[in-house]
Amino acid sequence: MNELFGTLSDGTPVHRWTLERAGVRVRVLSYGGIVQSVEVPDRHGAVGNVVLGFADLEGYVRHPEPYLGALVGRYANRIAGGRFPLDGVTYALERNNEPNSLHGGERGFDKRVWEVTPVAHGVRLSRVSPHGEEGFPGRLEVSATYTLDEAGALRLAYEAVTDAPTVVNLTNHSYFDLGGTGDPGGHELRLAASRYTPVDADLIPAGGPAEVAGTRFDFREPRKVGGGYDHNFVLDGGVSAAVRTVAELYDPASGRLLTVATTEPGLQLYTGDHLGAPLAPGSGIALETQHFPDSPNRPDFPGTVLRPGEVYRSQTVYGFAAR
């Protein structure tokens, strides 16, 4: 179902698409590729929304920094100093998270209106990011296909091609609260990650990956999330051709279980400690599948360069159950 959700100040209409299958209902906006809501049943069959979102377009326009549910790009996460070298040229980006560039810059993919085309059990969002947008080189043709499968899992499939060398790192920035209480700190998290990337004061990776064993970053066995995390976890297995399950988030109170499967090598765990009004700090947990922060400046990290003739592909699947 497609309906008008609102109109931007320049007159551009924003539409909302509703996807329903296997007892799951997902609402997607053409603005920012935003996943506005995901409604799933708990262990007693009661249906509730498990992601943070605003009720109207004004909420997203007035409060963009949390990136609630947004399709983030061209480069998710941080690039140190808002600069990176590529083929002997240093590119300067918008430094919207001083001193760094964050999530594609001041007006990244999360603040653009996407063209939406219906597909079987979902929608395909597409846009062209022109050469120089937010400082990134190359004309990038991007698509993101959101579908619900026969089990009610939300499948996100990204593709991109370029006419000049560039860097690409796309993700979805949904914040989960499986109980709908506004306090998911008691959720239990498991991550298939034996290492993580320590960061400096500006949240840029410092040195190489470190072992999680014996630290508060060890989620290899399920335990309460708590707070204080905005870190990239190095997923076991690295980049994969097919999705594999890398995370489980469970709410003991409601019985809702979220599984995350991806082709990506990293996952950013952000416990929302810096969420501000009208949201409460810690009211949602983001599990951002991605390549590592600052990879364009780190040749030792999995590469994020896309060249003409290549196709960027990435997939993530959010599965829902109750027990």
Question: How many of the other CB atoms lie within 10 Å of CB of 206?
Answer: 12
- What pLDDT, on the 0 to 100 scale, is given for residue 20? 98
- What pLDDT, on the 0 to 100 scale, is given for residue 69? 98
Q: Are 275 and 284 in contact (CB under 8 A)?
A: yes
Which positions make up the binding site for beta-D-galactose? 77-78, 173-175, 230
Active site positions, annotated: 173, 288
C-alpha torsion sign, points 78, 79, 82, 86: negative
- What pLDDT, on the 0 to 100 scale, is given for residue 283? 98
* pTM tops 0.85: yes
The number of distinct structural domains making up the chain is 1
Tokens of 177: 């609260």
- Nearest by Cα to 197 from 136, 268, 252: 268
Extract the residue ranges of the chain whose pLDDT is less than 70: none
- Nearest by Cα to 202 from 293, 270, 277: 293
- Determine the 3-state secondary structure of 110 from DSSP: helix
Q: In sequence order, what are the beta bridge partners of 3?
A: 16
56-114 per-position pLDDT tens digit = 999 999 999 999 999 999 999 999 999 999 999 999 999 999 999 999 999 999 999 99
Which positions make up the binding site? 77-78, 173-175, 230
Chain length of the chain: 323
- What pLDDT, on the 0 to 100 scale, is given for residue 1? 83
Share the mean pLDDT of the chain: 98
C-alpha torsion sign, points 179, 181, 187, 192: positive
CATH code for position 197: 2.70.98.10
Q: Which residue has the tokens 């990956």?
A: 209
Q: Are 298 and 266 in contact (CB under 8 A)?
A: no
- What pLDDT, on the 0 to 100 scale, is given for residue 250? 98
- Nearest by Cα to 169 from 20, 294, 14, 8: 294
Residue 149 is part of which domain span? 2-322
